[in-house]
Amino acid sequence: MNYSSYLIYVVPALLISMWASWNVKTTFAKYNKVGNRRGYTAAQIARRILDMNGLSHIRLERVSGDLTDHFDPSAGVVRLSDSTYNSTSVGALGVAAHECGHAVQYDKGYFPMKVRAAIIPMTQIGSSAAMPLALLGVALGLPFLVEIGILLFCAVVAFQLVTLPVEFNASRRAMQTLEEDRILEDDELKGSRKVLTAAALTYVAALLVALGNLLRLMSMRNNRRR
Domain borders along the chain are 4-36+89-225
Give the three-state DSSP class for 182: coil
Which H or E run includes 62?
strand 59-63
Per-residue pLDDT, 105: 98
**For the chain, how far is it from start to end, CA to CA, in angstroms?**
14
Ordered strands of the 59-63 beta sheet: 59-63, 77-81, 70-72
Return averaged pLDDT per consecutive 10 residues of the chain, 226 residues in all.
71 95 96 96 98 97 95 97 97 98 97 95 92 88 90 95 97 96 95 97 96 89 68
DSSP state of 58: S
Contact of 20 with 222, CB cutoff 8 Å: no
Kind of pairing, strands 59-63 and 70-72? Answer: unpaired
Give catalytic residue positions: 99
Please name the residues in contact with 80: beta carbons below 8 A apart, sequence gap of 6 or more.
42, 43, 46, 60, 61, 62, 63, 69, 95, 96, 99
Per-residue pLDDT, 155: 95
Per-residue pLDDT, 140: 87
Give the three-state DSSP class for 72: strand
The CA distances from residue 72 to 44, 51, 106, 172, in Å, are 19, 17, 10, 20
Which backbone phi and psi does 176 adopt, to 5 degrees?
-65, -40
* Residues composing the chain: 226
Cross-strand bridge partners of residue 61: 79
